[in-house]
């Protein structure tokens, strides 16, 4: 098995190098959208800047969510930038606000990457055989591997193991403030209304960690919700109008009706994949009986948690591939591109048309309707979500993609990045959970919140890198002790609840 792992890593790295070469070739032969409209140098810079920034967005999330329950006084002096970042997200509901803004950043950045590096229709390169063109260019496979491994997985691997060192960087601090600024604009605020409705339907009203808002703050909040709703409606109107008139970057020859159907189908697939990770983590600690008796839910859980539970992190890798693939196609479907001689859509100004052409409106639609909404529903109704037969089918697809080893090259990139930047594991600085408890600086377990209306993503490195979990537990007693402590805390909490229920019944 060790030999197979190294073979997958080698083969995946070779595929990545080939994919990068192809993408660079397309850019400098003016066969991508941005290189055609501007200059190859502009497309090259935009592509690499967005990829690097995407890695900070992905890695920053893993670090900020993972450090949320940790007593920040432990690293106040050793990691001052990281301390400044977590001081922001640890206050009130700021982590949820960051995650809301961050979600839009990821989607919009991927849309820009697609604009800079994805091939235009009919692209050919260096006389490559048609089969290679079809696999790597027409399907977008080269861009998918490039984005997933360089921009996402490699940073998640290091950030989930070395949260403090990874976060102790001003680029991460800038990314945090940018995500907060995006959330503050109110563009995504319609999601909060969905959040409240979902909580109400689940019988679990959303509880804020902050004092009640004043009348003025309430007006400001609901005003942004209305603006967000208006922007979403406008984005849908523009996108559907462009789709029905054939004025998007969708591949030539695809009928308008098919493009519209594909848009909604892919949005639903992305939503399912976003919700599945929330539902899977929500039921991970439940007993088999508590997961319900629906056949699909039982089949899904049996597959997900069989053996030593390695299918859960395996799903996360396959899911990453699926989601990015869908994002690239949705980007093509929703990005407005007027045909020659047709002027601007609806006769708008060139400046507004330029905004349409960036894919900005598609990113708004995908963030609210294809991502956040589904996460909120899954967090409120995880069992019902698992009872959907499509969940089981998508789980199978994701596990198959992970088993191919297509993204194993991310391991190699992560090793290089870790060596160059000198990352060390968090235990070097703050010790294990038991050591922190012995110093009376234990973790704030109450912050590990995964309830209705909170679309939080768990940062465990095993979410992305399944092969290392078993080895790590065997080799590092501190990690094993930490996981065991979480299990004991969860068990003690359950016993306390049961004891309270028994006492109440006895009093009755």
pLDDT in tens, the chain (508 residues): 677 878 888 998 999 999 999 999 999 999 888 898 888 999 999 999 999 999 999 888 878 877 877 788 888 888 999 999 989 988 888 888 888 888 888 888 988 898 888 888 788 888 888 888 888 888 788 888 899 888 888 888 888 778 888 899 899 999 999 999 999 999 889 988 887 887 787 777 777 778 888 899 999 999 999 999 999 999 999 988 888 888 887 777 778 888 888 888 888 898 888 888 777 766 765 667 767 777 888 888 888 877 666 677 678 778 888 888 888 888 878 877 777 667 788 778 888 888 888 778 888 888 888 888 887 777 777 788 888 889 899 999 988 888 888 888 888 888 898 999 888 888 888 776 666 666 655 555 555 455 555 555 544 433 334 444 445 544 555 555 555 555 555 555 545 544 454 444 444 4
Contacts of 352 (CB under 8 A, 6+ apart): 344
Nearest Cα to Cα of residue 109 among 152, 60, 65: 152
In angstroms, how far is the first alpha carbon of the chain from the final one? Answer: 59
Q: How far apart are CA 457 and CA 462, in angstroms?
A: 13
Secondary structure (3-state) at 119: strand
Q: How far apart are CA 222 and CA 382, in angstroms?
A: 28
Report whether 33 contacts 249 (CB < 8 A): yes
Q: How far apart are CA 453 and CA 446, in angstroms?
A: 16
DSSP annotation of 218? H
- When computed from its CA atoms, the radius of gyration of the chain, rounded to whole angstroms, is 23
Residue 453 phi, psi dihedral angles, 5° rounding: 90, 0
What does the longest C-alpha to C-alpha distance in the chain come to?
82
Query: Which tokens hold the place of 336?
Result: 């407005």
Partners of 336 in beta bridges? 248
Q: Is 309 left (phi over 0), alpha (psi -120 to 50) or beta?
A: left
Q: How far apart are CA 149 and CA 195, in angstroms?
A: 32
Partners of 119 in beta bridges? 32
Query: Which tokens hold the place of 123?
Result: 């692209």
Secondary structure (3-state) at 32: strand
Count of residues making up the chain: 508
The H-assigned helical ranges of 290-349 are 295-304, 311-334
Q: Tokens 């229709």 appear where? A: 121
DSSP annotation of 34? H
């Amino acid at each position: 098995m060790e030999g197979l792992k190294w073979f997958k890593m080698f083969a995946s790295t070779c595929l990545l190098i080939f994919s990068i070469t192809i993408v660079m070739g397309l850019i400098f032969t003016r066969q991508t959208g941005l290189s055609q409209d501007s200059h190859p140098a502009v497309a090259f810079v935009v592509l690499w800047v967005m990829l690097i920034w995407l890695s900070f967005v992905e890695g920053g999330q893993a670090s900020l969510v993972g450090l949320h329950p940790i007593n920040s006084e432990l690293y106040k002096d050793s990691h001052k930038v990281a301390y400044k970042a977590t001081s922001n997200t640890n206050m009130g509901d700021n982590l949820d606000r960051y995650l809301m803004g961050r979600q839009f950043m990821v989607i919009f950045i991927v849309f820009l990457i697609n604009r800079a590096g994805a091939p235009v229709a009919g692209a050919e390169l260096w006389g490559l055989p048609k089969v290679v063109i079809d696999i790597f260019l027409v399907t977008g496979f080269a861009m998918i591997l490039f984005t997933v491994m360089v921009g996402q997985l490699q940073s998640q691997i290091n950030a989930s193991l070395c949260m403090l060192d990874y976060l102790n960087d001003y680029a991460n601090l800038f990314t945090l403030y940018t995500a907060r600024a995006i959330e503050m604009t109110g563009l995504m605020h319609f999601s909060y209304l969905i959040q409240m409705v979902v909580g109400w339907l689940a019988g679990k009203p959303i509880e804020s960690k902050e004092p009640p808002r004043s009348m003025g703050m309430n007006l400001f909040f609901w005003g942004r919700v209305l603006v967000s709703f208006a922007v979403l409606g406008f984005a849908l109107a523009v996108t559907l109008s462009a789709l029905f008139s054939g004025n998007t970057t969708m591949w030539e020859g695809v009928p308008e009706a098919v493009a519209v159907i594909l848009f909604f189908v892919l949005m639903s697939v992305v939503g399912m994949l976003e919700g599945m990770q929330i539902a899977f983590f929500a039921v991970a600690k439940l007993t088999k009986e508590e997961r319900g008796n629906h056949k699909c839910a039982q089949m899904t859980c049996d597959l997900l948690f069989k053996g030593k539970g390695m299918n859960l992190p395996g799903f996360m890798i396959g899911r990453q591939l699926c989601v990015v693939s869908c994002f690239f196609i949705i980007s093509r479907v929703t990005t407005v591109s007027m045909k020659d001689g047709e002027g601007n859509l609806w006769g708008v100004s060139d400046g507004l048309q330029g905004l349409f052409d960036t894919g900005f409106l598609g990113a708004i639609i995908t963030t609210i309707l294809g991502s956040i909404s589904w996460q909120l529903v899954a967090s409120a109704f995880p069992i019902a979500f698992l009872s959907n037969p499509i969940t089981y089918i998508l789980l199978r697809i994701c596990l198959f993609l992970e088993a191919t080893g297509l993204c194993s090259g991310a391991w190699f990139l992560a090793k290089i990045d870790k060596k160059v930047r000198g990352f060390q594991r968090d235990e070097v600085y703050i010790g294990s959970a038991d050591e922190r408890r012995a110093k009376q600086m234990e973790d704030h377990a109450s912050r590990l919140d995964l309830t209705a209306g909170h679309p939080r993503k768990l940062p465990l490195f095993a979410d992305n890198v399944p092969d290392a979990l078993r080895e790590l537990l065997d080799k590092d007693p501190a990690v094993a002790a930490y996981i065991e402590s979480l299990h004991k805390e969860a068990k003690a909490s359950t016993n306390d609840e049961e004891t309270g229920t028994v006492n109440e019944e006895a009093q009755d």
